[in-house]
């Protein structure tokens, strides 16, 4: 695909936008039990609470990172893991009691509300809870999340810079369609909306900076979020958008749906995948991927594992950011020549301003809302 005619200079090294892996932000005394926690159990058994058929990328990525650590020969026997998979939130308390859990890593964001209720009623159990960052003040709970807004903002800026048609978009197949069956996916759906809005803000930032008129043509103005598409129709819908000359598209979908990107390059369009590096993980879709927003959960997983070895996992909240390498924007792969030296420098400058707080994406979104 040939997009805007930027000089073909390999400036991508400066814009890979990933730092050396950093562990979850915490004090140096991460493996010591916190003061005031005499009631908490000390156990080297880690219960991994998951949702059956989860749509959420954060859950899948952290689950894999923990699994990879547990599978290493040198870690054999250091921590015993118990996998607990349930359909509905109301099953959680019973399953934790049934398995005598003392340390619980709740991977499913859509379970966060129910898990916090269980934690409040069970101060003797330690919890690390996905999507509970900043939502609780319980001594036995640690909130975890990965701020994909940050790389999405950079991706929006880059998309606006390279679009040939002047039209970009955002699409999501993460939805709350299971609500009628009593299964609530609203946390994941709201997260997808938040990430897509960061992408939008990045594109608008480019327009303001350059005086350009790049349009967000694939968008649901009624809900203020990405265009919602059923998983079964995602591939078809992406090709239709490409035919409408929407040539750079943020795609938010469960990891298993990355094959839906295949064929976009043939329509003179590119995708930005969300959560994992789609180009690196799949040769099948590599030619259709401009870049990806990426969760790197390995540092967080290592800290949780080390804490589980010490017998507890609840501590300060963790949020994966660009600064601590918990999230990043992937390289541009086959499309590196589209990134000029000047665009590379602009992205690096924006990255720096996100790191130091001069660009606060949450405040930008609130101001526009």
- CATH numbers and ranges of domains, the chain: 12-19+148-294+327-368 (3.40.50.2300), 45-146+298-320 (3.40.50.2300)
Q: Which of 12-26, 289-303, 314-328 has the lowest mean pLDDT?
A: 12-26
CA 221/CA 6 separation, integer angstroms: 31
Please compute the mean of the pLDDT values over residues 259-282 and round it to a whole number: 96
Please compute the mean of the pLDDT values over residues 41-46 and round it to a whole number: 72
Q: Looking at the predicted structure, is the pLDDT value of residue 329 above 50?
A: yes
Higher pLDDT, residue 24 or 121: 121
Confidence of residue 25 (pLDDT cuts 50, 70, 90): very low
Q: Is the dihedral of CA 245, 260, 301, 103 positive or negative?
A: positive
User: pLDDT tens, 119-164?
Assistant: 999 999 999 999 999 876 899 999 999 999 999 999 999 999 999 9
User: pLDDT tens, 90-130?
Assistant: 999 999 999 999 999 999 999 999 999 999 999 999 999 99
Please compute the mean of the pLDDT values over residues 155-177 and round it to a whole number: 93
- pTM reported for the whole predicted model: 0.88
Residue with tokens 């369609």: 177
Q: Is the dihedral of CA 81, 178, 153, 266 positive or negative?
A: positive
CA 185/CA 145 separation, integer angstroms: 16
The DSSP bridge partners found for residue 127 are 104, 141
Q: Which of 37-46, 286-295, 326-335 has the lowest mean pLDDT?
A: 37-46
């Amino acid at each position: 695909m040939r997009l805007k005619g930027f000089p073909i200079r390999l400036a991508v090294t400066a814009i890979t936008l990933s730092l050396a892996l950093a562990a979850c932000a915490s004090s140096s005394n991460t493996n010591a039990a916190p003061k005031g926690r005499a009631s908490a159990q000390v156990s080297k058994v880690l219960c991994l609470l998951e949702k059956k058929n989860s749509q959420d990328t954060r859950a899948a990525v952290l689950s894999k990172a923990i699994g990879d650590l547990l599978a290493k020969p040198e870690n054999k026997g250091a921590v015993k893991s118990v996998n607990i998979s349930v359909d509905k939130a109301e099953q959680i308390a019973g399953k934790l009691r049934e398995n005598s859990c003392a340390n619980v890593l709740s991977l499913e964001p859509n379970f966060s509300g129910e898990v916090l209720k269980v934690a409040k009623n069970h101060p003797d159990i330690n919890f690390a809870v996905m999507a509970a960052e900043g939502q609780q003040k319980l001594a036995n709970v640690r909130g975890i999340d990965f701020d994909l807004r940050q790389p999405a903002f950079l991706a929006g800026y880059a998309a606006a810079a390279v679009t040939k048609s002047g039209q970009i978009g955002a699409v999501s197949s993460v939805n709350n369609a299971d609500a009628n069956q009593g299964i609530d996916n609203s946390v994941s759906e709201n997260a997808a909306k938040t990430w897509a809005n960061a992408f939008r803000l990045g594109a608008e930032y480019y327009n303001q900076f350059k005086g350009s008129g790049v349009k967000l043509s694939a968008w649901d103005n009624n809900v203020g979020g990405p265009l919602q598409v059923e998983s079964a129709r995602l591939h078809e819908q992406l090709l239709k958008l490409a035919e409408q000359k929407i040539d750079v598209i943020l795609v938010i979908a469960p990891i298993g749906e990355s094959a839906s990107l295949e064929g976009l390059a043939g329509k003179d369009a590119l995708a930005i995948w969300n959560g994992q590096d789609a180009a690196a993980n799949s040769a099948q879709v590599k030619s259709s991927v401009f870049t990806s927003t990426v969760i790197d959960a390995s540092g967080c997983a290592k800290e949780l594992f080390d804490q589980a070895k010490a017998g507890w996992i609840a501590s300060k909240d963790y949020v994966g950011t660009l600064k601590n390498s918990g999230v990043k924007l992937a390289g541009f792969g086959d499309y590196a020549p589209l990134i000029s030296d000047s665009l590379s420098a602009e992205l690096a400058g924006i990255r720096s301003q996100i790191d130091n707080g001069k660009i606060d994406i949450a405040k930008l979104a609130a101001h526009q809302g």
